[in-house]
């Protein structure tokens, strides 16, 4: 019993509690992500793409990614040079698992600053609640299970930056925010909002105000430079590849049309409502909620329906911002202030100027805080069985079906270093040890110099559910026919599985 009591006492310390929760969620995320890869639920789009890029960085080459297309430089797709920091780890552990575990650790780090701030505001119970709400938040959990994406770097940076802003540490907030421009081109807009908040909170004529103004300009300039100059210079088409998807043309129309696009169709209401509920609704009163505006803005105005919903990885960057806004709003209520105008802090009481600690006002503040935490907790409880973290407790997720075993045997026939044309999910299994492209496309260097000298191997799963993008099933079947006409020998034909070898 004394050991248990000692452990519980140590968990009351903010450092132990925050890092302990982060470590726990890093393990849980890794288990989910790696197990999904084991079950061949990952895809060339996007795990295979990022593995080919990191593999190139690890070999000292430019991130030219065959899965995107022949000679496709990935910095012409999105601007994410921070991805190169994974190269040393991949050099030692050359596997897609390296990317998945790195993403799990990065995402879990968001727990640390938010739970430590919550500990300062309301003690260990609030810290544990906020840490768990962050760890099980639907946007992060979905992103962890959805292959790998560069925004894994943004999640902890945003958590540390928002926490520093909320705690009145503007220089730290700026330092945490600045690397975001190296994660993805749109995040410069979020950096601009960080600068604007620093500027708005600083005294007129102070150096901090000038710093905030400069950071805001830098964020805007970074996004403009990457989208208008850097990305087009690397892109094979000589342009930013996503102008059409972000509705650039329609956004220049009448203001009322733009306003309608922000809230229609109703699928967007689900995104907005779930985001507000994640912040306990009370968090919307915090200025930190403004940090969500750039990401929500481009998603809602876009033409791509995938951006409007609550699936995929797009909402991960919102989670630390919404929960930071919740902690800030809880702090502002004064609900956790002690009698005498003090609040909980790691080293004892500290001034809490945001609200009274006694009387009817304090009781009302406590009720507001409780309602906010209940709302955020309900979101976690409702989404937990919907999003992939529940797979940890699903017995069926840990088995190996006969078909999965046969598919593994099929892939083991392909030697390391071979050139391969593969379907989407199978390509993700081969990206680390072969030169692989998508089977639905005409082969080109380095996969082949001509169709007559095509890839050494062709491997296809006709039951791959991703039959619309990136490869339509019709194109896959057509190319299988072409390879058959060129004399490719069928090594395996097992139901929907096909393995062909060049003569």
Q: What's the pLDDT tens digit per position in 231-277?
A: 999 988 888 877 777 655 555 555 666 777 777 888 889 899 999 99
Q: Is the pLDDT of residue 405 over 60?
A: yes
* Mean pLDDT of the chain, nearest integer: 87
Asked if pLDDT for residue 25 goes beyond 50, the answer is yes
Q: How far is CA 261 from the centre of its chain?
A: 24
Q: Mind listing the pLDDT tens digit for each residue in 32-59?
A: 999 999 999 999 988 999 999 999 999 9
Please say if the pLDDT value at position 486 is more than 90: no
pLDDT in tens, 119-142: 999 889 999 999 999 999 999 999
Q: Which pLDDT value is given to residue 268?
A: 86
Mean pLDDT for 354-381 is 80
Q: Looking at the DSSP assignment, which residues form a beta bridge with residue 457?
A: 420, 501
146 — alpha (psi -120 to 50), left (phi > 0) or beta? beta
Please choose, from the candidates 253, 300, 250, the residue with its C-alpha nearest in 3D space to the C-alpha of residue 275.
300
Two tokens at 103?
């993403």
Q: List the structure tokens of 13.
A: 């310390």
Residue 339 has pLDDT above 80, yes or no: no
* Residue 295: per-residue pLDDT: 94
Query: What is the spatial distance between Cα 488 and Cα 77, in angstroms, rounded to a whole number?
Result: 34
- Reply yes or no on whether the pLDDT at 483 is more than 60: yes
Q: What is the per-residue pLDDT for 464?
A: 83
In Å, how far are 246, 248, 267, 289, 321 from 299, measured between CA atoms? Answer: 7, 12, 12, 16, 16
Q: What is the DSSP secondary-structure string of 190-201?
A: HHHHHHHHHHHH
At 69 the pLDDT is 87
Tokens describing residue 41: 């639920």
What CA–CA distance (Å, rounded) separates 113 from 121?
Answer: 12
DSSP letter at 390 equals: G
Q: What whole-number distance in Å separates Cα of residue 288 and Cα of residue 198?
A: 11
DSSP state of 46: I
Could you report the per-residue pLDDT of 153-199, keeping only the tens digit for each? Answer: 999 999 999 999 999 999 999 999 999 999 999 999 999 999 999 99
**DSSP string covering 135-161:** HT-HHHHHHHHSS--GGGTHHHHHHHH
- Answer with the residue of higher pLDDT: 422 or 353: 422
Q: Give helix 359-383 / helix 267-278 axis angle, nearest 10°.
A: 130
Please state, for a pLDDT cut of 70, what percent of the chain lies above it. 88
Helices (H), 280-343: 293-301, 318-333
pLDDT reported for residue 260 = 75
Other CB atoms within a 10 A radius of the CB of residue 292 amount to 24
Q: Is 501 helix (H, G, I), strand (E, B) or coil?
A: strand
Assess whether pLDDT exceeds 90 at residue 304: no
Q: Which residues contact 451 (CB under 8 A, 6 or more apart)?
A: 442, 443, 482, 486
Q: How far is CA 276 from CA 133, 283, 341, in A?
A: 14, 8, 29
pTM for the whole structure: 0.90
Instruction: Give the integer Cα–Cα distance in Å for 441 and 473.
Output: 11
Quick check: 115 pLDDT over 70? yes
Identify which of 162, 34, 157, 23 has the alpha carbon closest to the alpha carbon of residue 99: 34
Report yes or no: 362 and 355 within 8 Å, Cβ to Cβ. yes
- Could you tell me the strand order of the sheet in which 350-351 lies? 337-338, 342-343, 350-351
Pull the structure tokens for residue 84. Answer: 């190169």
DSSP string, 327-380: HHHHHHHTTTEETTTEE--TTS-EE-TTS-SSHHHHHHHHHHHHHHHHHHHHHH
Q: What is the pLDDT of residue 351?
A: 47
Longest dimension (CA), the chain: 86
Phi, psi of 457 (to 5 degrees): -135, 150
Q: Contact, 311 vs 86, CB < 8 A?
A: no
- Average pLDDT of the residues in 17-31: 95
Instruction: Give yes or no for residue 349 having a pLDDT over 50.
Output: no
């Amino acid at each position: 019993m004394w050991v248990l009591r000692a452990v519980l006492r140590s968990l009351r310390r903010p450092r132990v509690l925050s890092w302990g929760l982060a470590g726990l969620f890093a393990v849980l995320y890794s288990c989910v992500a790696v197990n999904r890869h084991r079950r061949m639920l990952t895809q060339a789009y996007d795990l295979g793409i990022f593995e080919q890029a990191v593999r190139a960085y690890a070999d000292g080459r430019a991130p030219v990614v065959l899965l995107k297309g022949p000679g496709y430089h990935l910095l012409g797709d999105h601007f994410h040079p921070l991805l190169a920091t994974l190269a040393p780890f991949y050099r030692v552990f050359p596997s897609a698992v390296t990317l998945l575990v790195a993403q799990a650790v990065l995402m879990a780090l968001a727990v640390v600053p938010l739970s430590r701030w919550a500990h300062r505001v309301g003690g260990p119970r609030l810290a544990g609640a906020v840490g768990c709400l962050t760890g099980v938040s639907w946007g992060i959990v979905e992103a962890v299970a959805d292959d790998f994406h560069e925004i894994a770097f943004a999640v902890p940076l945003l958590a540390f930056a928002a926490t520093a802003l909320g705690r009145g540490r503007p220089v730290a907030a700026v330092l945490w925010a600045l690397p975001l421009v190296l994660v993805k081109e749109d995040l410069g807009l979020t950096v601009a909002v960080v600068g604007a908040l620093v500027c708005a909170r600083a005294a007129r004529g102070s150096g901090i105000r000038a710093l905030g103004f400069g950071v805001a300009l830098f964020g805007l300039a970074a996004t403009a430079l990457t989208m208008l100059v850097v990305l087009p210079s690397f892109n094979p088409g000589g342009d930013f590849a996503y102008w059409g998807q972000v509705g650039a043309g329609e956004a220049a129309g009448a203001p009322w049309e733009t306003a309608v696009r922000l809230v229609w169709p109703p699928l967007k209401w689900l995104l907005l409502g779930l985001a507000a509920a994640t912040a306990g609704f009370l968090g919307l009163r915090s200025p930190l909620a403004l940090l969500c505006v750039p990401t929500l803005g481009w998603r809602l105005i876009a033409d791509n329906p995938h951006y409007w919903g609550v699936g995929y990885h797009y909402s991960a960057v919102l989670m630390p911002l919404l929960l930071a806004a919740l902690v800030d709003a809880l702090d502002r209520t004064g609900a956790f202030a002690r009698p005498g105008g003090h609040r909980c802090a790691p080293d004892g009481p500290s001034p809490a100027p945001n609200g009274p600690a006694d009387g009817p006002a304090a009781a009302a503040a406590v009720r507001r805080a409780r309602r906010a935490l209940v709302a955020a907790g309900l979101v976690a409880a409702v989404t937990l069985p919907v999003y992939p973290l529940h797979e940890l407790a699903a017995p069926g997720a840990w088995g190996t079906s006969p078909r999965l075993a046969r598919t593994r045997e099929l892939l083991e026939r392909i030697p390391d270093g071979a050139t391969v044309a593969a379907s989407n999910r199978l390509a993700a299994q081969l990206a680390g040890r072969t030169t692989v492209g998508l089977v639905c496309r005409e082969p080109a260097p380095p996969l082949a110099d001509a169709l007559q000298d095509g890839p050494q191997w062709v491997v296809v799963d006709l039951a791959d559910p991703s039959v619309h993008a990136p490869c339509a099933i019709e194109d896959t079947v057509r190319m299988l026919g072409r390879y058959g006409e060129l004399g490719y020998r069928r090594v395996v034909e097992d139901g929907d599985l096909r393995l062909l070898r060049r003569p």
